[in-house]
A and B are shown apart, each in its own frame.
Chain A
């Protein structure tokens, strides 16, 4: 089982950051790797169980199902149904926690998955660095004072 854990601090209250990341169909509006996205079967983006179908800048397609959405815990959990990465049993969680000392927020993005033999480390690096940290960098820029 491969594991990714990436965390950072965003200089904005969690309620503000949550408005952006809560939209399960909103990746193209904030994540630099994502070109376009739609929710399958005309469901709402905050309907647990809905599937987002999105395209990366390089044209690859990924489908992910929303498993948990909590406005109280600022948490979003999803699983990959289809992707070009060759991962299996992939479940990821994006989560915010308020930082009371400074009115900022802690952000954490974690994933667990099975990878093809020998590709575990490369996939952990790619997902943790390019996908998750890349997303944090974009959010930090967006909320820069």
Chain B
């Protein structure tokens, strides 16, 4: 069992960051490793239970299901249904909280998963750095925020 937790301050109001990340099908517009994405069956990307199907740089195909979405808590959860990488029983969450003191946003992104034996460290590092930290840096850029 591997746990990953990444968090950061984004120099933008929570509503602005939420408007970007709320779209479960929108990650190909801001995340540098996501090449293309579509919602299967053509449904809306805010229907809990919808599945996004996408390719990441390097060519791997991944299918993820939206398992929770909350406009109240600025949070969503998803799980991997199928991936051409060794992320097993992968469940992830992203959540925003307003920083009331100065109007910025505190972002948390975390997950838990299993891996094939011996691949824990490599895959943990990949998720932490190539997916979450790179995603956080890209979110900053997309909302026009400097280094928080």
User: Which of A's residues lie within 8 Å of B, judged by CB?
Assistant: 5-9, 97-102, 104, 106, 108, 128, 133, 136
Contacts and interface: CB of A to CB of B under 8 A. Distances in A.
Given A8-B99, A101-B148, A102-B9, 7 more contacts: A8-B102, A9-B99, A97-B106, A99-B7, A99-B8, A100-B6, A106-B9
Contacts of A7: 97-101, 106
A47 B102 CA distance: 35
Q: How big is chain B's contact interface, by range?
A: 10 to 19
Contacts of B148: 101-102
Interface in B132-148: 133, 136, 148
Contacts of B97: 7, 106, 108
In the complex, which of the residues A7, A97, A104, A128 has the most CB atoms of chain B within 10 Å of its own CB atom? A7
B108 interface: yes
A100 B106 CA distance: 11
B106 A106 contact: yes
Nearest to B104: A9
A106 B7 contact: yes
**Top 9 A-B pairs ranked by shortest CB distance?**
A101-B8, A8-B101, A106-B106, A7-B99, A7-B100, A99-B7, A100-B6, A100-B7, A6-B100
B106 A98 contact: no
Contacts of A97: 7, 106, 108
A133 B99 contact: no
10 contacts: A5-B100, A7-B100, A8-B101, A97-B108, A100-B6, A100-B8, A101-B133, A104-B9, A133-B101, A136-B101
Interface in B1-19: 5-9
A101 B135 CA distance: 12
B51 to A, nearest CB: 29
**Which of A5, A101, A128 counts the most B-chain CB atoms under 10 A from its CB?**
A101
Contacts of B99: 7-9, 106
A98 B101 CA distance: 17
Interface in B96-137: 97-102, 104, 106, 108, 133, 136
Contacts of B101: 6-9, 133, 136
B21 to A, nearest CB: 16
Contacts of B5: 98, 100
B7 A101 contact: yes
Q: Residue among A8, A9, A100 with the most chain B CB within 10 A? A: A100
Count chain A CB atoms within 10 A of each CB in B8, B106, B108 and give the residue with the most: B106
A9 B105 CA distance: 10
A8 B6 CA distance: 18
